[in-house]
Structure 1
Amino acid sequence: MRLAHVTLATALALGTAGPAAAQVLSNPSSTNQALTNQSNSRSNQLGTTSQNNAARMEMQRSQSAQPPAPPSGVVGVPRR
């Protein structure tokens, strides 16, 4: 019974250290390259989003700057 507890505790201890150890890359330059690629990707995404927002604002400005359309339909003359 005691041996089972020790075995279980050892397995749990090794199991939690496994994922943390797997996250460490052995080559620092590959880590730097991955971070550089991620930064470039985010920068491109931010630039695209900014351009889209500017285009939307310009479209909204042009629509609000137009004079209102004349009323449609027949306008009746009031009777006296």
Structure 2
Amino acid sequence: MRPPPLLLHTVNDPDHPIREVRDLAAVGARLGWDVRLEEFPHGGHTEAWNTDRPRYDRLVRAFRSEVVALHLQAAKPHQSADTGS
């Protein structure tokens, strides 16, 4: 199982321009990955978390819940078509 990548990036990051992250997201999508790119309009490198904390927290919580649900679903025993169990 491959969890979906979540990319949180500031548009004005001086170390990694937003185009690099957009390109990464596009390549992942072409490979069939469920890539999520969330852009934050302000802040520098690694500062998305404190430019809009409520949004950042909401995105991370939702992502974490989704990944946990995916893992729980993958861990369930598969039902057999023949026996129903």
What is the TM-score when the length of structure 1 is the normalising length? Answer: 0.38
Tell me which protein shows more helix as a share of its residues.
1
What is the TM-score when the length of structure 2 is the normalising length? Answer: 0.36
Greater relative CO, 1 or 2 (CA 8 Å, sep 6+): 2
Tell me which protein shows more strand as a share of its residues.
2
Higher gyration radius (CA): 1
